[in-house]
């Protein structure tokens, strides 16, 4: 069943929804109580009640041996089922229990993160750590970093750029995070300052990772949302790079983080309303710093405006990425490529509006978080 589950995931990433459904359905035939397969099957396409029903999921939750991780995933599945059925009061209860289980499974220290953010700001408080002339030979490929809070629209923007004839959509590349880890930086960890030697090593490690990609295109996108933390280091190390930073309604972004379960530990703040609001605030502070330090290379992309005025905003973001216009960017949903994010299905559909209003159904439940976001 594990191999079949991987087949389903690959089919989903490639946009083969029918193939993914067939693979997950086969898993559930062989292992009807597999919680991961149940969740995956529902996420890829609404499943018939014979496969996924509230009663069936509730029965699995009655198992006292169920791990907190699986419990959180199943409660989130019930939230999604009840939300789509138009029962927000019932759905909110499942969301509360999902968040509780996720916190128990993967505790998160937001105070430690705040200390790291302070250290990053301090590292860039003085003169520019390195100039473009000190970096060395020009890079064979130019990178466009697409960053922002998770669930802010980074997958959509990458799909638009990946439709351009000169661009290869790299997806969520691990190379910058690994290079930063080699310098001692990580989730809550404070590493070496951005000295010329540190930045030269970062550049070397990052481009070594890019060399493994099977593409001859000169521009590569790196759509790892949480790379906003390391953006200043990356731009200092790679003077040819550009960055697009997604800007989406704070309430919509934070709500979407609460209602999605991520595999990456960097997103674990999303199991708590107040932690999520605080991470949003912290991210705004760093984005302001990067825009001030690299004003010609960091551009904001307003998500809501992009969905409402597709062509004008698409032209603007393509120009900000240092590219000439390509009309194929307007037909992004027709671009065939692997998308390994929570938005894999959404980017294969035409542009739509309204997703930033979903939180309003849960305004009462979200009140503690909304109060923290007031004014942002």
Share of the chain above pLDDT 90, in %: 70
Task: Look at residue 324 in the predicted model and tell me its pLDDT.
Answer: 98
Q: For residues 57 and 78, is the Cβ–Cβ distance under 8 A? A: yes
Residue 6: half-sphere exposure toward Cβ, Cα within 13 Å: 2
* pLDDT at residue 69 tops 70: yes
Q: Tell me the average pLDDT across 333-359.
A: 65
Segment among 24-28, 56-60, 75-79, 144-148 with least mean pLDDT:
24-28
Mean pLDDT of the chain: 90
Contacting residues for 365 by C-beta, under 8 A, at least 6 apart: 92, 95, 96
Segment among 19-23, 112-116, 154-158, 218-222 with least mean pLDDT:
19-23
Q: For residues 156 and 346, is the Cβ–Cβ distance under 8 A? A: yes
Tokens of 95: 């969301």
| DSSP output for 2-23 | HHHHHHHHHHHHTT-HHHHHHH
Alpha-carbon distance 355 to 280, whole Å? 18
Q: For residues 356 and 252, is the Cβ–Cβ distance under 8 A? A: yes
Alpha-carbon distance 99 to 190, whole Å? 28
Residue 88: half-sphere exposure toward Cβ, Cα within 13 Å: 9
Contacting residues for 92 by C-beta, under 8 A, at least 6 apart: 79, 362, 365
Alpha-carbon distance 241 to 258, whole Å? 32
Cβ neighbour number for residue 228 with a 10 Å cutoff: 25
Question: What confidence tier does 28 reach under pLDDT thresholds 50, 70, 90?
Answer: confident
106-150: per-residue pLDDT in tens?
Answer: 999 999 999 999 999 999 988 766 544 455 566 778 999 999 999
Closest by CA to 237, choosing from 266, 217, 216, 208, is 208
* pLDDT at residue 369 tops 60: yes
Going by the DSSP 8-state scheme, the letter that residue 125 receives in this structure is S
Task: Look at residue 133 in the predicted model and tell me its pLDDT.
Answer: 45
Phi/psi zone of residue 169: left (φ > 0), alpha (ψ -120 to 50 degrees), beta? beta
Alpha-carbon distance 161 to 88, whole Å? 36
Q: For residues 171 and 338, is the Cβ–Cβ distance under 8 A? A: yes
Segment among 14-23, 230-239, 274-283 with least mean pLDDT:
14-23
pLDDT higher for 253 or 346?
253
Task: Look at residue 132 in the predicted model and tell me its pLDDT.
Answer: 46
Going by the DSSP 8-state scheme, the letter that residue 235 receives in this structure is H
Cβ neighbour number for residue 2 with a 10 Å cutoff: 11
Give whole-number Cα distances, 30 to 2, 52, 63, 65, in Å. Answer: 11, 15, 19, 21
Structural domains of the chain, with CATH? 2-105 (1.25.40.10), 110-373 (3.40.50.300)
Alpha-carbon distance 9 to 40, whole Å? 8
Rounded to the nearest angstrom, the gap between the alpha carbon of residue 346 and the centroid of all alpha carbons in its chain is: 13
* pLDDT at residue 281 tops 90: yes
Largest CA distance in the chain: 64
Angle 350-228-162 from CA coordinates, rounded to 5°: 35
253-287: b (≥16 Cβ within 10 Å) or e: bbbbbbbbbbeeebbbbbbbbebbbbbbebbeebb
């Amino acid at each position: 069943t594990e191999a079949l589950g991987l087949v389903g995931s690959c089919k989903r990433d490639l946009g083969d929804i029918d193939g993914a459904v067939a693979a997950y359905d086969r898993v559930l035939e062989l292992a009807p109580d597999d919680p991961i397969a149940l969740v995956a099957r529902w996420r890829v396409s609404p499943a018939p009640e014979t496969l996924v029903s509230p009663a069936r999921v509730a029965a699995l939750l009655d198992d006292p041996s169920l791990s907190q991780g699986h419990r959180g995933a199943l409660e989130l599945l019930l939230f999604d089922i009840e939300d789509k059925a138009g029962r927000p009061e019932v759905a909110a209860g499942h969301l509360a229990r999902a968040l509780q289980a996720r916190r128990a499974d993967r505790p998160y220290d937001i105070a430690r993160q705040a200390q790291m953010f302070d250290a990053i700001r301090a590292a860039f408080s003085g003169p520019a750590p390195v100039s473009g002339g000190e970096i060395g030979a020009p890079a064979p490929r130019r990178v466009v970093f697409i960053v922002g809070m998770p669930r802010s629209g980074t997958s959509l923007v990458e799909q638009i750029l990946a439709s351009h004839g000169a661009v290869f959509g790299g997806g969520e590349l691990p190379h910058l995070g690994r290079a930063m880890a080699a310098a001692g930086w990580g989730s809550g960890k404070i590493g070496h300052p951005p000295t010329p030697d540190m930045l030269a090593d970062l550049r070397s490690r990052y481009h070594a990772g890019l060399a493994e990609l099977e593409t001859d295109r000169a521009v590569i996108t790196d759509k790892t949302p949480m790379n906003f933390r390391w953006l200043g280091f990356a731009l200092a190390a790679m003077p040819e790079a550009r960055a697009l930073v997604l800007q989406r309604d704070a309430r919509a972004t934070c709500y979407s983080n609460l209602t999605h379960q991520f595999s990456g530990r960097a997103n674990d703040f999303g199991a708590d309303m107040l932690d999520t609001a605080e991470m949003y605030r912290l991210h705004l502070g760093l984005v302001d710093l990067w825009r001030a330090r690299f004003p010609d290379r960091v551009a904001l992309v307003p998500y809501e405006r992009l969905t409402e005025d597709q062509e004008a905003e698409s032209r603007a973001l393509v120009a900000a990425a240092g590219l000439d216009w390509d009309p194929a960017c307007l037909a992004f949903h027709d671009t065939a490529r692997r998308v390994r994010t929570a938005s894999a299905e959404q980017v294969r559909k035409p542009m739509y509006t309204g997703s930033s209003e979903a939180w309003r159904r849960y305004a009462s439940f979200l009140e503690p978080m909304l109060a923290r976001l007031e004014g942002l």
